[in-house]
Structure 1
Amino acid sequence: MRRTSRRSQVHQAIAVSALLLAALFLLPLAVVVPFRSALFGREEPVDETEQEEAPPPVPSGGGLDAARPLRVLDGEAVLEMDLGTYLAGVVRAEMPAAFEMEALKAQAVAARTYTLYKLQSGGNHGETADVCTDHTCCQAYLNAEAARANWGDRAAAYEAKVESAVRETDGEAILYGGVPILAVFHSSSAGRTRAAGEVWVNDLPYLRPVDSPEPGDRIPNYYSRVEFPAEELKAKLLAAFPEADLSGGMEGWLKDPAADSAGNVGTVSVGGVAAKGTQVRAALGLRSACFTWEAQKGGMAFFVTGYGHGVGLSQYGASAMAAAGAGYREILTHYYTGVTVEPYQG
C-alpha cells in the first residue's frame, strides 16, 4: 500500500515535469507563430535608392510663351497651341536650322514680335484665328514631324537647336516705345537693307536701311538669272501694268531706273507707266528688287541679287554676324533701329 502510494506520487511528479518541459518548448512557438510571416516570410525587395519622378517633357517655349494661347489657321483647320509651340514651328520653317545659334535666337525673337504685333493690331482673320501658316499672310509654319522628314539624320540635333532658340528667349520681344514692332525679315539683302517706305506705303522709324554682311558666295542662288521670251515678258508686264505702252521695241519697255538707298530698283518706267521696282519684281517673279536687265535676241535677261523684300532682319546677314561673335540682341538692335529687346507681357 505504501509502495503504491509512493509510485503514484512519482508518476504525478513525472507528469508535472513533462507538462512543464512541454510548456518550456511550446511557449516560444506560441509567441513566434502568429508573426512567422512577418519574421520569416519572403517579401518583395525594396529599392532603397532615392526615387525621383520623371521630369515632364520640356516645352518648346518657357513660362511666358506657354502662358499665351494661340489659334492658328492651318488650311481649313484651326489649331490651338501655346505661343512657344507655334514659334518653334515658325523657326523650323523660316530659317535653316544649320544656321548659327544666335541667329536662330534672333529669328525666334523676331517671329515672336511679329506675332505679338499681329495680335495687337487685330491680324487678318477676324474671330476665326489669331495667325495663319501662310507665309504670304503671316509666317510660314512647319510641325516637328514634317521637319524631321526634311532634316533626315540631323533631325534630333536641329530640333534641339530650334527648341533652345525659342526657350532661351522666352517672352522676349523687340520693342519701340515699349510696344512690339512690325518685325519683318527676309532671306538676304544686296549688302544693305531697305527702308519700309521704299517697299510699302509708309516709312517706320525702326525699319531703316542698314549695312548687312551677306556672304554671297555661301548663299544658294544669291546671284540669279532669269530669261523671258519677248511675248511672255510683254504678257506679264501688261497683266501688272495694263496702261503700259509696249508697242515699240523691247529695248524701250523698261526705262529710267532709279536706285533706292540700298541699291535696289526704287522706281522704273514700264512702257511709260511709273512703277516701283517691287511691283516689277512681283510681276516677273524675281527673287528681289535688286535687278538689272539686258535685251537679248528674242527676249530679255534679268540679273538679280539677294532674295526677299530687303526690309528688316536679313537671315543670312544675321547668321554671318553670329559667326563673327554677335549675340542675338546685338543682331536685332542692328537690323531694327532704335529698339530694345526685353521680356514683354502686354
Structure 2
Amino acid sequence: MHKGMVLILAVLIGVMVAVPAALVSLDRNDRPVSSIRVDGGSSASSLDSGPEVKVYLSKEKKMETFPMESYIRGVVAAEMPAHFHPEALKAQALAARTYIVDRLSRGDFSDMAKWGEQAEKANVTDTVNHQAYLTDNQLKEQWGDHYETYSARINQAVAETAGQVIEYQGKPIYAAFFSTSNGKTENSEDYFSEKYPYLRSVSSPWDKASPKYRDRKQFQVADLVDKISQSTGKQVAVEASTGGDWLQVTQKTEGGSADKVQVGDQVFTGRQIREALQLSSADFTFQLSEGIVTVETKGYGHGVGMSQWGANFMAKQGKSAKEIIRHYYRGVELGSMNTYLKKN
C-alpha cells in the first residue's frame, strides 16, 4: 500500500473515533438545569429530591408532603416575582431553604396546632406565618401563559442552589426577608424581640426604585385612635387643646423607622402602630389637617434581613447571589443542609 493511502486511511480512522467522542463530550457539557451547581460543588439534586417537607395547605385544609427542593420551588414562586433577576431568585431560594432546614432541624412544630388537627401532622403552613407556598396547580392558574417561562426561571434558581443553606458560626440562620426597605434594613431587635448578630442594619439604597417604596393612608382622627386602642388594648385619651403634638414619632431606630410613637397620653412602638393601622412599614410620618391624619410610609415589610427589591437591583448591577446574601446577612457562609438533616 502506498504511503499516501496509508496516511489517508489513518486520518479517516481518526475522524471516525474522534467524532463520537466529541459528541459524548458535548452531551456531558449540555447538562440539565437540575445538575448545575452555582458554587462549583457537587451536582445538585433534582427538584424531586431531598428530605420531605410536610406542608399544611390552608385553603384546602389538608396536609401534603413534598420533596425539599420541590417545596423550595413553591416558596420562591410565592414569595418573589418570577421575573426578578436569576441571582436574586437564587438568593431567595437560599433564604427559603435555610428557614425550613432550621425549622426541621429544631423539630418544634407546636405552633401548628392553631390551624387544626390536620395541621398538627405538618411541619409548616403555606401562609406568611411561616413561608408562603404555592402548589404547581396554583402556579399554573396564577402564571397562565407565562407558566413554562417562569417555571424554568424558578427551577433553575432552586437547582443551582440545591442543598445549600446560610450559616452563622456553624448553625442555620433565621433568614428573615421582606419586600422593600426605606433605604436601610433594621437591626432585628428593633422590630422583633431577639437580637441576631447577623441581622444588622445595612444600607439598601437601591430600594428607592421599588414600586413599593412609598405609600400613603388617611384616617379620621377618631378612627385612627379607635384602631390603635383596639389593636393594642390601650385606651388613648386625646386632649382637644394639645394641637398636633399628641401624634408624633419621638424616637427612631438605627434603620430610620419609628421606634417610639406618642399618641395622646400613650406611647407605642413603631411596630404596634404599623400593625394597628395596617401600614406598609414602620417608617412613617404624620400630617394632621382639619381632622384628617395623613400617614406616609417608606418601604414595605418589617425591614429585617434581605430586601427582595434590593436583592433584585443588586443582581442587575452584577452582584451574585452569594454577594447579595453576605450583604444582607452579616458574617455568614454557605453550607450544606445535610449537616443538619438526614438524607432520605
Pairwise same-fold verdict (TM > 0.5): yes
The 5 Å alignment of 1:315-334 reads 315-334=308-327
Cα distance per residue 1:64-106 (max 9 Å; x no partner): 9813011111122011111111111101110001100000000
Say whether 1:214 aligns with 2:199.
Answer: no
Give the Cα–Cα distance (whole angstroms) in 2 for the partners of residues 243 and 221 of structure 1.
31
Question: Alignment partner for residue 310 of structure 1, among 303, 307, 314?
Answer: 303
Match of 1:32 in 2: none
Equivalent pair of 2:182/2:299 in contact (CA under 8 Å): yes
Give the Cα–Cα distance (whole angstroms) in 1 for the partners of residues 32 and 294 of structure 2.
57
Equivalent pair of 1:62/1:168 in contact (CA under 8 Å): no
Question: Alignment partner for residue 258 of structure 1, among 251, 255, 275?
Answer: 251
Question: Alignment partner for residue 72 of structure 1, among 55, 77, 99?
Answer: 55
CA root-mean-square deviation: 2.3
AA of the residue aligned to 1:274: V
Equivalent pair of 1:190/1:214 in contact (CA under 8 Å): no
Match of 1:100 in 2: 85
Match of 1:9 in 2: none
Match of 2:150 in 1: 158
* 1:251 CA displacement: 2.6
Cα distance per residue 1:13-39 (max 9 Å; x no partner): xxxxxxxxxxxxxxxxxxxxxxxxxxx
* 1:134 CA displacement: 1.1
Going from structure 1 to structure 2, the CA distance change for 1:216 and 1:222 (only over 3 Å counts) comes to same
Going from structure 1 to structure 2, the CA distance change for 1:57 and 1:114 (only over 3 Å counts) comes to closer
Aligned length: 290
Give the Cα–Cα distance (whole angstroms) in 1 for the partners of residues 332 and 317 of structure 2.
22
Bigger Rg, which one:
1
Question: Alignment partner for residue 294 of structure 1, among 280, 287, 290?
Answer: 287
Secondary structure of 1:214's partner?
A: helix
Q: Percent identity?
A: 37
Give the Cα–Cα distance (whole angstroms) in 1 for the partners of residues 322 and 203 of structure 2.
17
Give the Cα–Cα distance (whole angstroms) in 2 for the partners of residues 208 and 199 of structure 1.
11
Give the Cα–Cα distance (whole angstroms) in 2 for the partners of residues 119 and 279 of structure 1.
30
* 1:153 CA displacement: 2.6
Going from structure 1 to structure 2, the CA distance change for 1:64 and 1:145 (only over 3 Å counts) comes to closer
Match of 1:276 in 2: 269
Equivalent pair of 2:227/2:277 in contact (CA under 8 Å): yes
Give the Cα–Cα distance (whole angstroms) in 2 for the partners of residues 161 and 118 of structure 1.
26
The 5 Å alignment of 1:236-247 reads 236-247=227-238
Secondary structure of 2:184's partner?
A: coil
The 5 Å alignment of 1:128-277 reads 128-135=121-128, 137-217=129-209, 219-249=210-240, 251-277=244-270
AA of the residue aligned to 2:139: A
Equivalent pair of 2:183/2:207 in contact (CA under 8 Å): no
Secondary structure of 2:200's partner?
A: coil
Equivalent pair of 1:224/1:303 in contact (CA under 8 Å): yes
Secondary structure of 2:194's partner?
A: coil
Going from structure 1 to structure 2, the CA distance change for 1:344 and 1:220 (only over 3 Å counts) comes to same
Equivalent pair of 2:249/2:285 in contact (CA under 8 Å): no
AA of the residue aligned to 1:221: K
Runs of 5+ unmatched residues, structure 2:
1-30, 36-43, 114-119
* 1:230 CA displacement: 1.8
The 5 Å alignment of 1:53-72 reads 62=45, 66-72=49-55
* 1:56 CA displacement: 11
Give the Cα–Cα distance (whole angstroms) in 2 for the partners of residues 337 and 56 of structure 1.
33
Give the Cα–Cα distance (whole angstroms) in 2 for the partners of residues 169 and 301 of structure 1.
44
Match of 2:20 in 1: none
Secondary structure of 2:236's partner?
A: coil
TM-score, normalised to structure 1, is 0.79
Cα distance per residue 1:285-311 (max 9 Å; x no partner): 000001101002121000011100000
Equivalent pair of 1:101/1:161 in contact (CA under 8 Å): yes
AA of the residue aligned to 2:218: E
Match of 1:115 in 2: 100
Cα distance per residue 1:211-270 (max 9 Å; x no partner): 1133423x2232111001122112101113443432313734423521111111111122
Give the Cα–Cα distance (whole angstroms) in 2 for the partners of residues 198 and 263 of structure 1.
10
AA of the residue aligned to 1:113: T
Match of 1:336 in 2: 329
